[in-house]
A and B are shown apart, each in its own frame.
Chain A
Amino acid sequence: MTPPPGSLLAAEELRKAYGPTVALDGAEFSIHPGEVVAVMGPSGSGKSTLLHCLAGIVPPDSGSITYNGHELAGMSDAQRSALRRSEFGFVFQFGQLVPELTCVENVALPLRLNGTSRKEAEKAALTWMERLEVDGLRKKRPGEVSGGQGQRVAVARALVTNPRVLFADEPTGALDSLNGERVMELLTDAARSTNAAVVLVTHEARVAAYSDREIVVRDGKSRDMERVV
């Protein structure tokens, strides 16, 4: 299947096995700028592997992934790393913040790694922390903030480089309903305002309801639910 025109990130016929275990078996995916796509499916269905392949973290055994018209497989490791650092943002379920750094230093970290000065990086970090309603935590360390607050700091850090694709793997998995919903509201509002695409892996339907479209992965195969009805 050819990806829809205008796709920012698209995958076709992805296959990936870990030894005898088949994680992806012909999965397809596409996302447009500004779109939020939920990737759902049972545990072990291959949804996290799909995310890791799309983000260039894990190479598929076969199939193609194109970002902005460029084949990921055709890039060197250094080029893929640069892509992940500058064009992609990541939010995971647990343990993403560096415990020794303050919250503002954590948010500023991706910019610092890209060579931005401390002053500039922390200024941009604070703007994002305000949007995520955690600017009051700037001097606190991750161990001193709640799970919901820490996750908002992580979202701010993922967005501070103005990525074109935000990968979120169970971003509310460790939070209660109220905190989880607030994180989803802030995350999707922030992504839409910058026209970033969001690949949202979740097993919770109420989290997926913040998306524009849903892909279900079962036994390594994907199904675009827009094409079901």
Chain B
Amino acid sequence: MSIGHTLLGLLESGPRHGYDLKRAFDEKFGHDRPLHYGQVYSTMSRLLKNGLVEVDGIEPGGGPERKRYAITDAGITDVQRWLATPEKPEPYLQSTLYTKVVLALLTRRNAADILDTQRAEHLRMMRILTDRKRKGDLADQLICDHALFHLEADLRWLELTAARLDKLAEVVAK
């Protein structure tokens, strides 16, 4: 999962301090793996260097946690590109896909489109593997089958999430 893109997406609703960003990240996406403060500040300084965020204000008292960050137009474009680009189909993608869907809902983008784009990419990969399986020997068949079963599980998750988008939007909005 791209922490940079996730933090950028969280900034779209308005400028935030570093500690506020960490809290929002942990609440929405951290689950049992909260971010370290160090990760937040190293990520923010990289985004700052790349012109994707800017410092919107500094509270008196010094220290990196006092900076308030705002997303730039280039940052918004970067989030949009990341959300619209399907992930390379591979097992255990759920955390990245989940993050993309939630961020899309938070930023009022079309989350169903993100799921469908990913679904099409998964099925494209499944077609390639099915074709390879048909032409290959038993070893090829078994290796392709392993990948196919995992991709199928992902695809079922994509379908189920698509069917639950309205409910998820309600939860995310709280």
Report A's interface with B, CB cutoff 8 A: 42, 185, 204-206, 208-212, 214, 216, 218, 223, 225-226, 228-229
Cβ proximity bits B147-174 to A, threshold 8 Å, 1 near / 0 not: 0110110011001001100000000000
**Nearest 4 CB-CB pairs, A to B?**
A209-B126, A209-B130, A225-B120, A205-B155
Whether the Cβ atoms of B148 and A225 lie closer than 8 Å is no
CB <8 Å contact, A42 and B86? no
Contact B123 A205 (CB under 8 A): yes
**Interface contact A225-B116, CB-CB below 8 Å:** yes
Contact yes or no, B151 A216, CB < 8 A: no
**Chain B CB within 10 A, most for which of A205, A211, A225:** A205
Whether A214 lies near B126 (C-beta < 8 A) is: no
Which residue on chain B has the smallest CB distance to residue A38? B123
A185 touches B134 (CB 8 A): yes
Known: A42-B163, A209-B129, A209-B148. A229 touches B123 (CB 8 A): no
Q: Does B59 contact A (CB under 8 A)?
A: no
Given contacts A42-B159, A214-B123, contact A228 B152 (CB under 8 A): no
- What chain A residues lie within 8 Å of B163 (beta carbons)? 42
A228 to B123, CA, bound (A): 12
Query: In the complex, are the beta carbons of B86 and A209 less than 8 A apart?
Result: no
Q: List 18 A-B contacts (CB under 8 A).
A: A42-B159, A204-B152, A205-B122, A205-B152, A205-B155, A206-B126, A206-B152, A208-B126, A209-B123, A209-B129, A209-B130, A211-B127, A214-B120, A218-B162, A225-B123, A226-B120, A228-B117, A228-B119
**Assembly CA distance A167 to B159 (angstroms):** 24
Q: Identify the closest chain A residue to B124 (Cβ).
A: A229
* Chain B residues bordering chain A, tally (CB within 8 A): 24
Measured between alpha carbons, how far is A185 from B127 in the docked complex, in Å?
13
B interface majority secondary structure: helix
What residues of B have a CB within 8 angstroms of the CB of A211 in the complex? 127
The 8 A CB mask of B9-30 against A (1 = contact, 0 = none) is 0000000000000000000000
Chain B, range 106-136, C-beta contacts under 8 Å to A: 113, 116-117, 119-124, 126-127, 129-130, 134
Select the residue from B86, B127, B148, B163 with max chain A CB neighbours within 10 A.
B127
Closest partner residue, chain A, to B134 (CB atom): A185
Do A229 and B159 form a contact, CB below 8 Å, given A205-B152, A209-B130? no
Q: Nearest chain-A residue to B152 (Cβ)?
A: A205
Inside 8 A of A209's CB, which chain B residues have their CB?
A: 123, 126-127, 129-130, 148
> Do A228 and B148 form a contact, CB below 8 Å, given A205-B123, A206-B126?
no
Add 18 more A-B contacts to A212-B127, A229-B124 (CB < 8 A): A42-B159, A205-B123, A205-B155, A206-B126, A206-B148, A209-B123, A209-B126, A209-B129, A210-B130, A214-B120, A214-B123, A218-B162, A225-B119, A225-B123, A226-B120, A228-B119, A228-B120, A229-B121
Does A205 contact B120, Cβ atoms closer than 8 Å? no
Q: What mask results when residues 36 to 56 of chain B are scored 1 for a CB within 8 Å of chain A, else 0? A: 000000000000000000000
* Chain B residue, CB-CB nearest to A211: B127
Least distance between A110 CB and chain B CB atoms (Å): 28
Selected contact of B120 from candidates A185, A210, A218, A229, CB within 8 Å: A229
Q: What are the residues of chain A within 8 A of B86 when measuring CB–CB?
A: 229
CB distance from B165 to the nearest CB of A (A): 11
List of A residues within 8 angstroms of B120 by Cβ = 214, 225-226, 228-229
Residue of A whose beta carbon sits closest to that of B85 = A229
